[in-house]
Structure 1
Amino acid sequence: MTALLILVLLVAGIVLVTARWKVSPFLALMGAAILGAFAFRLPLADIVTTVTEAFGSTLGNIGLVILFGTMIGVILERSGAAIAMAEALIKVIGTRFPNLTMSLIGYIVSIPVFCDSGYVILNSLRKAITVRTGVSALATSIALMTGLYATHTLVPPTPGPLAAAENIGITDSLGLIIALGLPVAAVAAIAGLIYASTFARKEFTPIPASSEEEIDTRSYDELRESYGKLPNAFLAFLPILLPLLLICFGSVVKLPSQPLGGGTLFEVASFLSTPVIALIIGLAAALTLLRGNGKLASFNEQINDSVTIAAPILLITGAGAAFGAVLAASPLTDFLADNLSGLGIGLAVPFLISAALKTAQGSSTVAIVSTSALLAPMLGSLGLDSTMGMVLSVLAVGAGAMVVSHANDSYFWVVSQLSRIPVATAYRTLTVATAIEGVAAFGAIMVLSVFLL
Structure 2
Amino acid sequence: MVLVLILIALIAFIVLSTTRLKLHPFLSLLAAALIAGFAYQVPAGEIIKTITTGFGGILGYIGIVIVLGTIIGVILERSGAAITMAESVIKLLGERFPTLTMSIIGYLVSIPVFCDSGYVILNSLKNALAARMKISVVAMSVALATGLYATHTFVPPTPGPIAAAGNLGLESSLGLVIAVGLFVAMVTALAGMLWANRFIKQDDAELLEEAPSELLAEDVDFEALKARYGKLPSAMQAFAPIFLPIALICLGSVAAFPSKPLGEGALFSVLSFLGQPVAALLVGLALACTLLKGENKRQQFHDQVAEGLVAAAPILLITGAGGAFGAMLKATELGNYLGTSLSALGVGLFMPFLVAAALKTAQGSSTVALVTTSAMVAPLLGSLGLDSEMGRVLTVMAIGAGAMTVSHANDSFFWVVSQFSRMKVSTAYRAQTMATLVQGVVGMLTVWLLSLVLL
TM-score by structure 2 length? Answer: 0.65
Q: Report if aligned partners of 1:75, 1:286 keep a CA contact under 8 Å in 2.
A: yes
- AA aligned to 1:5 is L
- Distance in 2, Cα, partners of 1:438 & 1:338: 22
1:166-199 Cα distance to aligned partner (Å, 9 max, x none): xx985999xx99x9799578635764798899x9
SS in 2 for 1:289: coil
TM-aligned CA deviation for residue 147 of structure 1: 4.0
Q: Which residue of 2 aligns with 1:48?
A: 48
- Distance in 1, Cα, partners of 2:245 & 2:358: 31
Q: Could you tell me which runs of 5 or more consecutive residues in structure 2 were left unpaired when the two chains were aligned.
A: 107-117, 164-176, 206-210, 379-394
Picking from 228, 231, 255, the partner of 1:229 is 231
| Correspondence 1:12 to 2:5 | no
Q: Which residue of 2 aligns with 1:62?
A: 62
Q: CA, structure 1 residues 234+352, in 2 after alignment: closer, same or farther (shift >3 Å)?
A: farther
Q: Which residue of 2 aligns with 1:260?
A: 262
Q: CA, structure 1 residues 32+384, in 2 after alignment: closer, same or farther (shift >3 Å)?
A: farther
- AA aligned to 2:279 is I
TM-aligned CA deviation for residue 435 of structure 1: 6.6
TM-aligned CA deviation for residue 330 of structure 1: 1.6
| Correspondence 1:244 to 2:246 | yes
Decide which moves more: 70-79 or 104-113. Answer: 104-113
| Correspondence 1:149 to 2:146 | no
TM-aligned CA deviation for residue 225 of structure 1: 0.4
Q: CA, structure 1 residues 38+193, in 2 after alignment: closer, same or farther (shift >3 Å)?
A: closer
Q: Report if aligned partners of 2:98, 2:140 keep a CA contact under 8 Å in 1.
A: no
- Distance in 1, Cα, partners of 2:47 & 2:372: 24
1:409-450 Cα distance to aligned partner (Å, 9 max, x none): 96599x9xxxxxxxxxxxxxxx89997897368635864796
**Correspondences of 1:338-349 after superposition (within 5 Å):** 338-343=340-345, 344=350, 346-347=352-353
C-alpha RMSD of matched pairs (Å):
4.9
- Distance in 1, Cα, partners of 2:77 & 2:376: 37
Q: Which residue of 2 aligns with 1:99?
A: 96
- Distance in 1, Cα, partners of 2:367 & 2:254: 27
Q: Report if aligned partners of 2:160, 2:368 keep a CA contact under 8 Å in 1.
A: no
TM-aligned CA deviation for residue 346 of structure 1: 4.5
- AA aligned to 2:318 is I
Q: CA, structure 1 residues 151+398, in 2 after alignment: closer, same or farther (shift >3 Å)?
A: farther
SS in 2 for 1:228: coil
- Distance in 2, Cα, partners of 1:100 & 1:303: 34
Q: Report if aligned partners of 1:103, 1:189 keep a CA contact under 8 Å in 2.
A: no
Q: Which residue of 2 aligns with 1:279?
A: 281
- Distance in 1, Cα, partners of 2:400 & 2:282: 24
Q: Which residue of 2 aligns with 1:288?
A: 290
Q: Report if aligned partners of 1:88, 1:233 keep a CA contact under 8 Å in 2.
A: yes
Q: Report if aligned partners of 1:188, 1:437 keep a CA contact under 8 Å in 2.
A: no
- AA aligned to 1:125 is R
Q: CA, structure 1 residues 397+77, in 2 after alignment: closer, same or farther (shift >3 Å)?
A: farther
Q: Which residue of 2 aligns with 1:32?
A: 32
| Correspondence 1:75 to 2:75 | yes
- Distance in 1, Cα, partners of 2:315 & 2:343: 33
- Distance in 1, Cα, partners of 2:342 & 2:331: 18
Q: Which residue of 2 aligns with 1:336?
A: 338
Q: Report if aligned partners of 1:396, 1:445 keep a CA contact under 8 Å in 2.
A: no
Q: Which residue of 1 aligns with 2:169?
A: none
- AA aligned to 1:126 is M
SS in 2 for 1:99: coil
- AA aligned to 1:100 is F
SS in 1 for 2:42: coil
Picking from 129, 132, 138, the partner of 1:125 is 132
Q: CA, structure 1 residues 182+239, in 2 after alignment: closer, same or farther (shift >3 Å)?
A: farther
Q: CA, structure 1 residues 308+229, in 2 after alignment: closer, same or farther (shift >3 Å)?
A: same
1:186-228 Cα distance to aligned partner (Å, 9 max, x none): 635764798899x9xxxx9xx9xxxxx9954343321210122
TM-aligned CA deviation for residue 42 of structure 1: 1.8
- Distance in 1, Cα, partners of 2:223 & 2:2: 61
**Correspondences of 1:111-260 after superposition (within 5 Å):** 111-112=119-120, 121-122=128-129, 125-126=132-133, 141=135, 146-152=139-145, 154-155=147-148, 187=190, 191=194, 216-260=218-262
TM-aligned CA deviation for residue 236 of structure 1: 0.6
- AA aligned to 1:79 is S
Query: Percent identity of the aligned residues?
Result: 36
SS in 1 for 2:290: helix
1:378-411 Cα distance to aligned partner (Å, 9 max, x none): 9635878999678766655469999xx99xx965
- Distance in 2, Cα, partners of 1:171 & 1:283: 30
- Distance in 1, Cα, partners of 2:442 & 2:192: 13
TM-aligned CA deviation for residue 259 of structure 1: 0.7
TM-aligned CA deviation for residue 146 of structure 1: 3.5
SS in 1 for 2:96: helix
- Distance in 1, Cα, partners of 2:431 & 2:49: 44
- Distance in 2, Cα, partners of 1:91 & 1:8: 46
TM-aligned CA deviation for residue 19 of structure 1: 1.9
- Distance in 1, Cα, partners of 2:121 & 2:36: 35
Q: CA, structure 1 residues 232+393, in 2 after alignment: closer, same or farther (shift >3 Å)?
A: farther
Q: Report if aligned partners of 1:79, 1:289 keep a CA contact under 8 Å in 2.
A: yes
Decide which moves more: 433-442 or 315-324. Answer: 433-442
Q: Which residue of 1 aligns with 2:392?
A: none
Q: Report if aligned partners of 1:336, 1:381 keep a CA contact under 8 Å in 2.
A: no
- Distance in 2, Cα, partners of 1:11 & 1:171: 27
- Distance in 2, Cα, partners of 1:338 & 1:19: 35
Q: CA, structure 1 residues 39+101, in 2 after alignment: closer, same or farther (shift >3 Å)?
A: closer
